Amino acid sequence: MADEQAPNDTPSRQSGGGAGQGGSPSADSKPQIGDSRPAPKIGDSRPAPQGDGAQNQGGDGQPKKRRRRRGGRGRGRGGQGGGGQNQNGQNQNNRGGQQKQGVRPAPVEAITSGDAVELDEKTLKRRRGRTRKGKAVGRYLMCVHVGPKATQIATLEGRKLLEHQVSRPADDISQIHGNIYLGRVQNVLPGMEAAFVDIATPKNAVLYAGDVQYDADDLDNEGKGEKRGGKQPRIEDVLKAKQSILTQVTKNPIAHKGARLTQEVSLPGRFVVLVPNSSTYGISKRLPDGERKRLRNILDKAKPKQHGVIVRTAAENVTAEEIKADVDRLLAQWDDIEKLSKSTKAPALLYREPEAAVRIIREEFTKDFRGVIIDDKELFEEVKGYVEAITPALADRIEYYDEEAEGLPLFERQHIDEQLRKALDRKVWLPGGGSLIIEGTEALTVIDVNTGKNVGKSSLEETVFRNNLEAAEEVANQLRLRDIGGIIVIDFVDMEVAKNRDEVIKTFRQALARDKTRTQVFDISELGLVEMTRKRIGEGLLESVTTACDSCDGRGHVMIDGILD
């Protein structure tokens, strides 16, 4: 027990330019192309269910309020017949997973309303963010635009667009990260050390041997585990076709690849992550020692014996009552999920993650945000209620933007649209006159750095060095803004001086450290190229807001009439 893994706080994304933190070093030191094999470490790309209010079944007498989901994290009814009475029973026409079975009970959903734990005025005051002349002060601003086809979430630092996410109505198929399913094993592939699992989505999901959980007593073929040096038993000894398994999505399906699954389910709350039926016990290493000790004392009492917990950085200075409330919420939710798993036939969705906006707030909202502006009344109310329940001191930072009254769309008012448009260009100008050309291919993204109009003042080496430093910062910004994942190769302009090369790489790593998504940068190659990987979380900005051109099929060339006839 008590193995102090450093749970990284924002489950799905992580910072750091080098090898990863905590967890199994072996899985980490390898380049992770955002996706391939190694098992997810605790706190790494951990799915992130739940968030919420007080207790499960509307403790304050309110029935579970469910909003209609249009643009938001659309509810495609994966695996549930139109007859399933869901939430508010509205228009649940199934655009999602194929209907493999008839009527299904509705999946468990995160509770986003409830009563806040009462806090004394002193605590509240400390938790409120800073203000200046009555206006909230903070580095970041989140803008949420709910449109008919998608909900877009933009994060600004000052006025600069840092990140942008799109969540579409068909998301019960493509954005299922964190959802929990009762899956049905389709086939086990010993040669791939993996199993394909039907989770009622169009594509079967993949469960790798390293993500399989097993009970040694249940093994058909006893002793096999030991023979393999006490390591994971072979997947074919643990899983059989047609078997039903409780499983959680750790990675959304991308292009032709199915979703990735794990059997180690976890339910993130605001302050703790509950890991059902596990001995996991961790407290974020980012917290100071004294605080870790205080939290350990609280958890020793609040932690359910049979389940594991990971305490997140957000628990800093949070009261015992608040932590207890968070644990209780997650427990109630787990009970519901377990109950449903016993009364349902696989494949079925058991638990669905909340709206993108709610998830992001659960993971990221702090007093460093001067506000969250939402242009949809219904979503605004849900988010406001949620924040009132978990972080009441910051609830007044959630604002509604009435486009009609304002006379200008939110994204225009905040100059987000123009920044997004620029983020779709191949070319990005650098302050000194140089530029970047960003070109995506199927296997990797190539970024070419040019000095262009940057003529500098002293020597050529100095000009190139300055230009590369600017490029290093800008490449990091662009990767984050464009949400580019996978392998990335950067061709900086050649530098003669080794010290300058090192300085550029150092600057680049520092700039990448601000990105919560995990990246890994390798040393400059013989040809002067920098290779790196960035974990693939979303599909990428370009892919999420465009489709390939009909005329050239994405090549950017139109055949001259008659030339090859």
What is the C-alpha end-to-end distance of the chain, expressed in Å? Answer: 73
Nearer to Zn ion, 216 or 424 (CB): 424
User: In angstroms, what is the minimal distance from the CB of 551 to Zn ion?
Assistant: 5
Nearer to Zn ion, 227 or 555 (CB): 555
User: In angstroms, what is the minimal distance from the CB of 481 to Zn ion?
Assistant: 23
Among 124, 216, 455, 549, binds Zn ion (CB under 5 A): 549
Judge contact between 167 and 150, C-beta under 8 A: yes
Nearer to Zn ion, 57 or 551 (CB): 551
Nearer to Zn ion, 441 or 459 (CB): 441
With binding defined as CB under 5 A, does residue 546 bind Zn ion? no
Q: Which two tokens stand for residue 67?
A: 């909003």
Find, among 557, 558, 499, 560, the residue nearest to 524 by Cα: 499
User: In angstroms, what is the minimal distance from the CB of 422 to Zn ion?
Assistant: 19
DSSP class of residue 444 equals E
Nearer to Zn ion, 553 or 565 (CB): 553
Instruction: Return the range that interacts with Zn ion (CB under 5 A); candidates 51-59, 102-110, 300-308, 548-556.
Output: 548-556
d(CA 191, CA 33): 21
Q: What are phi and psi of 111, to 5 degrees?
A: -95, 125
Could you give the C-alpha distances from 478 to 27, 137, 557, in angstroms and in order? 27, 26, 25
Instruction: Return the range that interacts with Zn ion (CB under 5 A); candidates 134-142, 270-278, 304-312, 544-552.
Output: 544-552
User: In angstroms, what is the minimal distance from the CB of 552 to Zn ion?
Assistant: 3
User: In angstroms, what is the minimal distance from the CB of 546 to Zn ion?
Assistant: 11
Strand extents, DSSP E, 105-139: 108-109, 131-132, 135-136
DSSP class of residue 257 equals B
d(CA 139, CA 342): 46
Q: Which two tokens stand for residue 194?
A: 């993996």
Nearer to Zn ion, 192 or 552 (CB): 552
User: 326: which residues sit within 8 A by CB, 6+ positions away?
Assistant: 269, 270, 271, 272, 390
What is the full DSSP assignment across 464-477?
HHHHHHHHHHHHHH
Q: Which two tokens stand for residue 398?
A: 């959630």
Nearer to Zn ion, 460 or 549 (CB): 549
Instruction: Return the range that interacts with Zn ion (CB under 5 A); candidates 269-277, 298-306, 417-425, 552-560.
Output: 552-560
User: In angstroms, what is the minimal distance from the CB of 166 to Zn ion?
Assistant: 22
Q: Which residue has the tokens 């699992």?
A: 197
Nearer to Zn ion, 189 or 437 (CB): 437
Question: What's the angle, vertex CA 208, arms to CA 204 and CA 210, rounded to 5?
Answer: 155
Instruction: Return the range that interacts with Zn ion (CB under 5 A); candidates 193-201, 224-232, 483-491, 546-554.
Output: 546-554
Instruction: Return the range that interacts with Zn ion (CB under 5 A); candidates 150-158, 344-352, 491-499, 543-551.
Output: 543-551
Nearer to Zn ion, 406 or 439 (CB): 439
Number of chain positions touching Zn ion (CB under 5 A): 3
57 class by beta-carbon count within 10 Å (0-12 exposed, 13-18 middle, 19+ buried): exposed
d(CA 48, CA 362): 9
- Residues 315-354, one symbol each (x = binds Zn ion by CB under 5 A, - = not), give ----------------------------------------
User: 122: which residues sit within 8 A by CB, 6+ positions away?
Assistant: none
Among 19, 497, 552, 559, binds Zn ion (CB under 5 A): 552
Nearer to Zn ion, 289 or 550 (CB): 550
Nearer to Zn ion, 241 or 552 (CB): 552
User: In angstroms, what is the minimal distance from the CB of 147 to Zn ion?
Assistant: 25
Judge contact between 350 and 181, C-beta under 8 A: yes
Closest residue to bound Zn ion by CB: 549
Nearer to Zn ion, 279 or 546 (CB): 546
User: In angstroms, what is the minimal distance from the CB of 543 to Zn ion?
Assistant: 16
Instruction: Return the range that interacts with Zn ion (CB under 5 A); candidates 323-331, 360-368, 445-453, 549-557.
Output: 549-557
Q: What are phi and psi of 359, to 5 degrees?
A: -60, -45
d(CA 489, CA 272): 37
Amino acid 323 reads I
Nearer to Zn ion, 29 or 441 (CB): 441
Q: What are phi and psi of 452, to 5 degrees?
A: 50, -120
User: In angstroms, what is the minimal distance from the CB of 425 to Zn ion?
Assistant: 15
Q: Which two tokens stand for residue 451?
A: 């000095």
Q: Which two tokens stand for residue 456?
A: 């500098």
User: In angstroms, what is the minimal distance from the CB of 149 to Zn ion?
Assistant: 22
User: In angstroms, what is the minimal distance from the CB of 548 to Zn ion?
Assistant: 8
Edge to edge, what strands does the sheet with 281-283 contain? 267-268, 272-275, 308-311, 281-283
Judge contact between 476 and 516, C-beta under 8 A: no
Judge contact between 255 and 273, C-beta under 8 A: no
User: In angstroms, what is the minimal distance from the CB of 438 to Zn ion?
Assistant: 17
User: In angstroms, what is the minimal distance from the CB of 560 to Zn ion?
Assistant: 14
Judge contact between 244 and 199, C-beta under 8 A: no
Among 551, 563, 564, 565, binds Zn ion (CB under 5 A): 551
Q: Which residues bind Zn ion (CB under 5 A)?
A: 549, 551-552
